[in-house]
Homo-oligomer: A and B are copies of this chain.
Amino acid sequence: MEPAARPSHLLRLLPTLPILAWGRTYDRGTLVSDLVAALIVTIMLIPQSLAYALLAGLPPEVGLYASVAPLLLYAVFGTSRVLAVGPVAVVSLMTAAAIGEHAVVGSHHYWAVAITLAFLSGVMLLIMGVLRLGFLANFLSHPVISGFISASGLLIAASQLKTLMGVKAEGHNFIDLAQALISQLPHIHGLTLVVGGSATAFLFWVRKGLKPLLIRLGLNARLADVVAKSGPVAAIAVTTLLAWALDWKEQGLKVVGSVPQGLPPLTMPIWDFALWQSLAVPALLISVVGFVESVSVGQTLAAKRRQRIEPDQELVALGASNLSAALTGGFPVTGGFARSVVNFDAGAQTPAAGVYTAVGITLASLLLTPALYFLPQATLAATIIVAVLSLVDLGILKRTWTYSPADFMAVLVTLLVTLAQGVEAGLVSGVAVSLTLFLFRTSRPHIAEVGLVKGTEHFRNVLRYDVATSPILVSLRVDESLYFANARALEDRINDLVAERPQIRHVVLQCSAINAIDASALESLESIDQRLRDANLKLHLSEVKGPVMDRLQATNFHKNLTGKVFLSHYQAISQLAPEILKAAKTG
């Protein structure tokens, strides 16, 4: 097999691009599956990309531009077979919040800042990918993400109400938005509200009522789903035709207007370091949120087909996608939940489906844009509202309340701060709260006194199990790594125990839950040992983990330890207080 080994060795030297894995086995069956999926996703993506561009405060065609190049780049670099990249609701909201401070909505500068934001986000994602920093996203806990997405959904829905009502109202938080909307109530444009309201009602019905109806009428479930998912397209087609036929624009209904026909333009970010600095934090938050959303969708779908995605490679893929968005007139993009699920359900087999979708969107930008002239903006607002309200999951509050008050607090703070102060403050405070609560918990460790479970070699909490103990020996199990924030808790506990029970001769720490001992905790252990020595007691350790023991080996604490280090707690007890073993047998 010598000769065969050489080329495979060479291949290993090639960059391991995911496209090389699936590209080699691409056949006609896969092609057909991918084409069908691409067609369905394209139909879904056209209204979404227009709507999310408007949500971000950008001209609608920018949404189309952001749905071409990023899909191609993701197909080359991405590890998910079915992730559909493009503009998504939450990232568009964050984009609007970030740019709002630097430019006036509708200005050319606003668009240029959006392009710069996509550029910075792309660079950051690429750097994080190359440095393999994907794990940093783990610090956004599930509860924080969940609270953030729900609050963002509510914010987006509120921000779209103005378009639905035909008034002007700005604000990047719920309170400002609500105030602006209420002050505008007398100026509601009746026709706009009727069109927008009907579209919303129709879309909700499509989502909740149409699919079950179609299934009852005999359609198979998957087809019913696809028909239901095309509801937005129907709403757009119908209201656009009506707006054209009934001359609604003349009656004050806002329409999308002329959308430039053509391929995405070549663009460049603004090379202004001061602007980059002030966009750095929003760009980082957009990158992390986009990455987390993308990876969680990707992992969920990959697991269903026993595939895996590679988070660090996903960072590279999303980074390349965003860079390409910046170079082709787009704005920040990421993997979208709804459209990836549609892509998966429609049978997409490989990222080539994304390439075909990009072709579909290009055709739409070339040919379809004149048809969008009479598309009412209220209809787009309706599609956004219905899409984002499905993101709102307030049940998480109840679930976390039952399971873990700390997680509940994290959700609640994220939710409220996002609503009250906007997306950036919300995310940052969510992370801060969850880290603080984690630190708080680890700073007050659970310390159990343990005894031998009868008939076993296993030790458990004396308060919970019927165990054997001895008056001359106390076995303690600290349920936390020992570090600066909790080092003193153990000192206090041992001091108290020794003061309470004059018969004690040995203190044995079962270290099975101690995963690390830092320098502060080492000093604490030294002073515990010193005090026990002065009182003529001995301190022993058992079940010290390998990595912890490696470090302790060279310390004075280990050299001067009054007692011994035992492999298992059972061995320690056998040697120091064999009467416990007897009690556990007879008991």
Contact = CB atoms under 8 A, between A and B. Distances in A.
A321 to B, nearest CB: 22
A350 to B, nearest CB: 21
Interface stretch (A104-112, A229-237, A476-484): A476-484
Contact of A570 (B448, B458, B531): B458
B399 A519 contact: yes
Interface in A506-527: 512-516, 518-520, 522-523, 527
Interface in A551-582: 551, 554-555, 567-568, 570-571
A439 interface: yes
B458 A568 contact: yes
Interface stretch (A8-16, A139-147, A152-160): A139-147
Interface stretch (A68-76, A279-287, A403-411): A403-411
B520 A143 contact: yes
Given A483-B438, A495-B308, A568 B527 contact: no
A461 interface: yes
A414 interface: no
Contacts of A339: none
Contacts of A443: 135, 138-139
A457 B570 contact: yes
Interface string A409-435: 000000000000000000000000011
A487 interface: yes
A545 interface: yes
Contacts of A308: 495, 499
A139 B487 CA distance: 10
Contacts of A514: 513
Contacts of A445: 515
B138 A404 contact: no
Contacts of A513: 512-515, 545
Contacts of A217: none
Contacts of A403: 519, 522, 551, 554-555
Given A135-B443, A142-B484, A546 B457 contact: no
A486 interface: yes
Nearest to A143: B519
Nearest to A400: B519
B448 A439 contact: no
Interface in A389-408: 399-400, 402-404, 406-407
A484 B519 contact: no
A482 to B, nearest CB: 11
B138 A488 contact: yes
Interface of A: 135, 138-144, 303, 306, 308, 399-400, 402-404, 406-407, 434-435, 438-439, 441-446, 448, 453, 456-458, 460-461, 464, 479-481, 483-489, 495, 499, 512-516, 518-520, 522-523, 527, 530-531, 534-535, 543, 545-547, 551, 554-555, 567-568, 570-571
Q: Which 6 A-B pairs have the closest CB atoms?
A: A141-B484, A407-B519, A458-B568, A142-B520, A457-B457, A479-B515
12 contacts: A138-B486, A141-B484, A142-B519, A303-B530, A403-B554, A407-B518, A434-B484, A456-B457, A458-B568, A458-B571, A461-B546, A513-B513
